[in-house]
Structure 1
Amino acid sequence: MDRLKAMAMFVTVAEQGSFSGAARALKASLTTISRSVAELETLLGAQLLIRTTRKLTLTDTGRDYLSAARKILAQVSEAEQAAAGEFATPRGELLITAPVMLGRKHLLPVVTAFLATWPEINIRLIFSDSNLDLIDQQVDMALRIGNLPDSSLVATRVGMMRNLACASPELLDRLGEPRHPADLNAWPAIILNTGALPLTHWRFHEPDSGAMIDCRVLPRLSVTAAEAAVQAAEQGAGAARLLYYQVDDALARGSLREILSHYEAPPQPVQLVHASRGKMALKLRCFLDFAVPRLRERLSDQDKNSGR
């Protein structure tokens, strides 16, 4: 048995959630995938997966082994890259992730320009509003909004992002302009649910003292996509609190208006983040050097257009 190959198959099964999904991803037969994972379990003397007719579930041992296997495969990949000259010549593939709307509006144009400049580097983009684990999921770089809790990650700031409250002109005509965040307690609210907590509390700041104001809102509508939150707010379903890049178009066309701007919390940093793995591959260094000034320019233009 090729242990590394079996390890890679197990990781793919866990990531795809099924043997059939792994077989499609790896372009291998279902029998080959199933046999390799079974042989791996026999070799380890431990069950890694609980198989039922509906789904696969990792055992506790399986979860621990998955994390270790990802790290081992990443180290093997790095060694192969070094041997292939990727630390001496900028080539190979980069896996980059970003929030959906931010990625489409600002990162994608930078990536396409980069590809035209560096023909030997390929990029795989994952747009997701949930933060992927850079180590476990072997992500080369992420565009993130907010301060980083994990000090093992290396961050390069490319801009700042406002988090603002807004509502449609029709809703404001009906309920009146809120004068204080507490006024929103009685308002219908649209919640963007991406797993961040707390969902039912919006944070504002006193303009004079800088004290935090924690405002509890009534979530009449909860959605998982920023585009849906914007559309619902435009249709008067409630007030929304969103990042500037998510609502800038709606603000420009007048279908949404800012509210409580004097109580707005400080903007959050936008950063390109990568794991600290020792020597940086040239392909990653090339992308970082290319993307940072261009993202800073794009996000600074957005900041100017916000009027703040």
Structure 2
Amino acid sequence: MIIFNLDSDPSLFDELAQALLAKKGELEQRRFPDGESYLRVHSDCSHQDVIIFCNLYQPDLKILRLLFLTTVLKEMGATQVGLITPYLPYMRQDKQFNHGECVSSRPFAKLLSASLDFLITMDPHLHRYDSLDEIYTLKSCVVSAAPLIAHWIQQHIPNPLLIGPDMESEQWVSEVARLADAPFQILEKIRHGDTLVEISPPELAPYKNKTPVLIDDIISSGNTMLETINHLTLANMKRPVCIGVHGIFAEGAFSQLQQFANVITTQCIPHSSNNIDIAPALAKATLLLINKNIANT
């Protein structure tokens, strides 16, 4: 098995290569004077299972090189080519709200499905889709961060109260609460715009001795969590912990959250807040999917 790192976190790549017992592929990249990409594979990939580790956070900067790499790997005779991307982009745009809008999750899924044999990712934003199979035609495996988050909470937070800021977060929060054996609450969010949100106040009276733990799949602007933290502060609760699967932290969100809470994320998007390891879980899912593909051929 060979694994390539395409423009992604080198430390997580090293962990994945070790967990998969995979040889690191040699890849040469540069840009021509006009800005176009040059790419060359130096490893022999004939009759090999090949994995590309490419974190597709900020996908527009990486997607062309990913397509170039998948093309040349198949030309070189790779048995199958798969992608590990901890963050799967273009999942939040899943409905046309106005005439002429592109529901970009669908053409993006077609693009990857046509180029790859399999895909491993962690907790994509499945809101209006029940599964990736609704839009992706390749073999895929979604790795859940819930067991990893629950384990971290059990190790670091005594007497936690888990809080989900909206109904979309219930699927993660309820599972983490079950695994961590902790109580939880799901709040109601009313969105008034891209960044303006209103959160219903939680019922906190029975939980004064507990540490609030806010959990969501994506922390972007941070406004949802900041609004929730405001309710916690007014109720004189302990300093909360904010946990995100994907820490995007747009527009200075991390520095704002840090003022009022301890902020923890998984390794899905490289950041100083990364404290929850994901490599073993991603590697296990990758091996299972590869072996399943081989068994079906």
Taking structure 1 as the reference length, the TM-score comes to 0.25
Query: Rg larger in 1 or in 2?
Result: 1
More helix by share: 1
RCO greater where, 1 or 2, for CA within 8 Å and sep 6 or more? 1
Taking structure 2 as the reference length, the TM-score comes to 0.25
